[in-house]
């Protein structure tokens, strides 16, 4: 499903369930040695999806380690993103010659827990959510906004090496086009010297009880 939100140059693999008893891949065991069983299964399946996607790009299988903020460390020449939530795991990868950045996120299609909306929105977004809710009441727009900002961060961090909080981006959402735009409210200078990130664009989908979002940054 996530592949429908991404450019054709991206390879995406997903899974709706875990393989019973599947062990962590060699070289990744320590990353989930202290994790609870649910978290361990999510990690193992999502990393398997990532290896399958990398294989389709011609990369041999190997451990996918984590960086300083638990982000996956991809082989040279690859950008990618991983996500998992209850009932869904996915990974997406692309060559750096095709995309500069990539972020994906999956969430259950439910309202955010009480009190969370206030922590993830900036001025203007509560009104946006109310308008969207009146026009399209079957969508949990607060959770979609949360997911979109997660995808934005996943695309942002590898390019800048800096944290991007929920309060550091303002979202607009187009319900008809299934798209969103994040206006970055902080310095968007990139570590690679590329054009500063002032705006990131993405797409969204609600299906099978899930909210899926994806951001791709062109070269």
Q: What percent of the chain has pLDDT over 90?
A: 95
pLDDT of residue 24: 96
pLDDT surpassing 90 at residue 123: yes
- CATH assignment at residue 130: 3.90.470
Domain boundary among 64, 99, 134: 99
pLDDT of residue 219: 86
Q: In this predicted model, what pLDDT tens digit does every residue of 39-64 receive, in sequence order?
A: 999 999 999 999 999 999 999 999 99
- CATH assignment at residue 84: 3.90.470.20
Give residue 75's domain range: 2-99
pLDDT of residue 107: 98
Q: Are residues 151 and 112 in the same domain?
A: yes
Q: Are residues 95 and 109 in the same domain?
A: no
Query: How many whole angstroms separate alpha carbon 212 and alpha carbon 2?
Result: 7
Q: Are residues 41 and 83 in the same domain?
A: yes
Q: In this predicted model, what pLDDT tens digit does every residue of 162-181 receive, in sequence order?
A: 999 999 999 999 999 999 99
Q: Are residues 192 and 144 in the same domain?
A: yes
Domain boundary among 76, 99, 122: 99
Q: What percent of the chain has pLDDT over 70?
A: 100
Total of domains in the chain: 2
Q: In this predicted model, what pLDDT tens digit does every residue of 177-210 receive, in sequence order?
A: 999 999 999 999 999 888 999 999 999 999 999 9
Domain boundary among 99, 129, 161: 99
Q: Are residues 118 and 209 in the same domain?
A: yes
Q: Are residues 115 and 201 in the same domain?
A: yes
Query: How many whole angstroms separate alpha carbon 157 and alpha carbon 37?
Result: 28
pTM as predicted: 0.95
Q: Are residues 66 and 130 in the same domain?
A: no
pLDDT of residue 116: 95
Residues 11-21: what's their mean pLDDT? 96
Query: How many whole angstroms separate alpha carbon 152 and alpha carbon 188?
Result: 12
Q: Are residues 82 and 134 in the same domain?
A: no
Q: Are residues 109 and 92 in the same domain?
A: no
Q: Are residues 187 and 205 in the same domain?
A: yes
Q: Are residues 91 and 143 in the same domain?
A: no
In degrees, rounded to 5, the angle at the alpha carbon of residue 198 between the alpha carbons of residues 71 and 74 is 20
Q: In this predicted model, what pLDDT tens digit does every residue of 56-104 receive, in sequence order?
A: 999 999 999 999 888 999 999 999 999 999 999 999 999 999 999 999 9
Q: Are residues 131 and 87 in the same domain?
A: no
């Amino acid at each position: 499903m996530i592949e429908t939100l991404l450019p054709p140059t991206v390879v995406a693999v997903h899974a709706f369930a875990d393989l019973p008893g599947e062990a962590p891949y060699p070289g990744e065991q320590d990353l989930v040695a202290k994790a609870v069983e649910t978290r361990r299964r999510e990690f193992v399946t999502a990393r398997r999806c990532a290896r399958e996607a990398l294989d389709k790009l011609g990369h041999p299988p190997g451990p996918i380690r984590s960086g300083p903020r638990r982000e996956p460390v991809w082989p040279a020449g690859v950008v990618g993103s991983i996500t998992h939530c209850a009932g869904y795991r996915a990974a997406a990868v692309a060559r750096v010659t095709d995309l500069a950045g990539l972020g994906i996120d999956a969430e259950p299609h439910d309202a955010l827990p009480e009190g969370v909306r206030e922590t993830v929105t900036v001025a203007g977004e509560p009104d946006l959510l109310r308008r969207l809710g009146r026009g399209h009441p079957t969508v949990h727009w607060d959770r979609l906004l949360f997911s979109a900002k997660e995808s934005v961060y996943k695309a942002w961090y590898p390019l800048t090496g800096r944290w991007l909080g929920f309060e550091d981006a303002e979202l607009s959402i187009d319900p008809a086009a299934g798209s969103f735009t994040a206006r970055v409210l902080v310095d968007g200078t990139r570590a690679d010297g590329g054009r500063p990130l002032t705006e990131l664009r993405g797409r969204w989908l609600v299906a099978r009880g899930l909210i899926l979002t994806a951001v791709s940054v062109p070269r």
